[in-house]
Structure 1
């Protein structure tokens, strides 16, 4: 077998061979042998998020290389399990996506002419629509993966609907809808019926995802930034209280709020 550490073009073959060894029913790893598509899928999603995280945190080529390797391993893992079932091989996956990229870029690999990124995006969507139709996936919203993060899927669903004119005219109209949804949630608070509250909170989140879309923002990116900001400011609250020999559990809400305000003023 090729040296697994080989970084030459044969390194891809080495990785495939390593996965085959791990999955060998007789001599492989006990943990790897019992995995299936469903059990590995959460790791695939996790690794994709870790790639996004290292990019978000800033330039770190070594970390990015490492995370991309982990993500590639997930593709190899799924392909190996498919090969064991006689469905397809990793080479088929690579060939399929190569053909897809060529098909979706006729201005690069053919005679079509596309002058702008916006025009390419539109051509890409036209091609994807044709591919969905060939798979008998009908309807404007067909093919939007249900496993996407909720806010991302909300934005993608309504982006699709917007292409045929089903959309708010501008961000101001979305804010009006947001006010309406807040009022509906307030009306449900006295009864506190969990199912109704969940429904109304869902509507609120859905509208917020669309507000981000109308402002050309990524809703998942927005909540990621908000989470990071909360962590920074709460960490500052803990640090300030620790300097006084206390912890948040020892402080009142008002005291923690004052430290929060100070952290906000410092730009955290």
Structure 2
């Protein structure tokens, strides 16, 4: 069973080790280290957990990380004003707004306020446009992490059939652009399925790789997967489990226990895509440092 698992923790650890070496060199030649600001609004337990993981990872590689904690009642105008201030701060290399935001806030408006040169989540329209045009600056961390995992398998994407279930701006759309791009790591034939797609199984059954990113458990079932295919499960869902100390356990969007016997490789949840997302965010922050300080280095 373990031979079928794609170990995101192991791959991300190697990436972080390499980043630490790069950042140590920056420290020796520059008066400051790369600097990330995370805007956290409200008390969503999952968001708080994700932000803590990002803080810990930043500390590990030597990136300065400041978390700006704002109440759920914060005014949208105050968030925008704060982001605009960070846009002008040459001591800040990258920033992210932890999603989701409370429903009373315009998520899209807030994200688009972030300078495209500091948008290390890659969600700004300019950065998505650069990705679509084949000239990526910052690629959203999860798609970049998924692509890296596929490359680690020595899987040749060129000419392969990849089905992505989910069309979010955060994962599905940018991932489709990456994997179909005219690059050695792309050139795949990519199909995007979504909530309005009919008979998704008719697409997935012919796929070499299935990437599921819907945010709903049991989206990908055993009868939707062909033998020896690869499954990348992006989903993270909390389900009640009284046997656990915290009262819940994490599962993905696929029926992992049933699918693992069929596939050649699959990502576990947790321990698969999650660690890769954080590692790619750190890469983006480091890249932002070099972009924003090119004239000083």
| Fold similarity call, TM over 0.5 | no
TM-score in terms of structure 1 length: 0.29
Considering fraction of residues, name the structure with more strand. Answer: 2
With CA pairs under 8 Å and 6+ residues apart, which has the higher RCO, 1 or 2?
Answer: 2
Structure with more of its chain in helix, by fraction: 1
Higher radius of gyration, 1 or 2: 1
